[in-house]
Amino acid sequence: MANAQRSRYSIAVDTMGGDRGAAEVVRGVALALKEFKDIDEIILVGPKRMLEQMLKKVDLNKDRRLTIHHASQVVEMSEKPIQALKQKKDSSLVRSIELVKEGRAGAVVSLGNTGALMAGATLKLRPVKGIERPALATVIPSHKHHFLLIDAGANPETTGLQLAHNAILGNIYYKSILPNKNPRIGLLTIGSEEGKGTERIATAHEHLKKISHKINYIGPIEGFDTFKNVADVVVTDGFTGNCVLKSLESCFTTLSGFLKKELGATPFRQLGAVLSKGAFTAMKDQLSPEHYSGAPLLGINGLVLKTHGSSNRKFIRSAIRIANEGLRDDLTKKIQKGIAEGNAIVEESEAPAKA
């Protein structure tokens, strides 16, 4: 077992629940350990005997940076979150979260049931003091520019203050994983002019203006601004964010299928496709979500990353990288400080009105 100092940077990996099985998760862990030498420890959570056999197959059974934490149950994707948490207390998902709660690990990476992961993390790790609801953040790849979408689905309904919290969370996380240290924060609405949108958008806008000396708030933005390199962090509620995310995924899939079909329709087009292979390869690499595949649940006392259930080993490797970087950057402490400062500014500005 790792000592207390190492456990601060240990990453618990939920090996069960993914569509490709635990073997693919183990291979993703193997890639991460090979590529990122500063990883202190990875704790594989799942059936011990099965994981020991898998580690032998990838020649990792003697790696000192690996530990196995036995868990006998699996939370299936189709299960209701709260019911699963109550009935499957020895599941790999629950045990992974508990390792963070106990201080044995600093972060969790899971491919499992999103609802159960968010509910379990919120209930067991608790939100950061001063924040009302945590939010999911995901990086959206674009041409020569990646932007962060927050919330991507954790909270369908939010208040103006919660949207302001999302902006603070997104600002801190963006600076942690991307090179831009002064990200532009945009509030997603139906028009860039002040007054456009709902009452909560107006409230959020006023809060964000008050804390604009702490974050680089550029004001309201529209949907078509997202891919125009207007903002680095796009702030919205979980309902809108999830709709945007799934629409983009569907659009990319449709476009990819359309190009594949049309470029192979005639010999002349096939020749053009061969000549354009380099451009298509560059586009695929630029737009691939592989590099930032872990979506963190920000605003809780611990680092919890959700990656897609169908993730392959490369996506899993990237999620582990993000978890490791987040731990070493003291992401949770920075969030605690940022939320406290933001709340203090808002409360101070409203104090005269309450008198």
Mean pLDDT of the chain: 89
pTM higher than 0.75 for the full model? yes
3-state secondary structure of 119: helix
| Separation of CA 270 from chain center | 38
Domain interval for residue 90: 1-131+299-329
Rank 141-150, 264-273, 329-338 by mean pLDDT and report only the highest.
329-338
State the pLDDT confidence band at 320, using cuts at 50, 70 and 90: very high
Task: Out of 3-12, 209-218, 309-318, pick the least confident.
Answer: 3-12
Which residues pair with residue 186 across a beta bridge?
219, 234
Query: Is 151 within 8 Å of 159 (Cβ atoms)?
Result: no
Task: Out of 61-65, 122-126, 166-170, 296-300, pick the least confident.
Answer: 61-65
What strands lie across the sheet with 216-221, from one edge to the other? 66-70, 41-46, 10-14, 107-110, 303-306, 295-298, 135-140, 147-150, 233-235, 184-188, 216-221
- On whether residue 157 sits in a domain, the answer given is yes
Structural domain count, the chain: 2
- On whether residue 272 sits in a domain, the answer given is yes
Residues 2 and 51 in one domain: yes
In terms of phi and psi (left: phi > 0; alpha: psi -120 to 50; beta: otherwise), the region of 330 is: left
Residues 82 and 184 in one domain: no
Residues 118 and 142 in one domain: no
Secondary structure percentages of the chain, helix, strand, coil, to 5: 50, 15, 35
Residues 150 and 246 in one domain: yes
Tokens linked to 336:
């605690």
pLDDT in tens, 182-207: 999 999 999 888 778 889 999 999 99
Residues 279 and 304 in one domain: no
Residues 84 and 98 in one domain: yes
State the pLDDT confidence band at 255, using cuts at 50, 70 and 90: confident
CATH code for the domain of 120: 3.40.718.10
Q: Which of 108, 83, 105 is nearest to 16 (CA)?
A: 108
Residue 5 has pLDDT above 60, yes or no: no
- Residue 83 — φ and ψ, nearest 5°? -60, -40
State the pLDDT confidence band at 7, using cuts at 50, 70 and 90: low
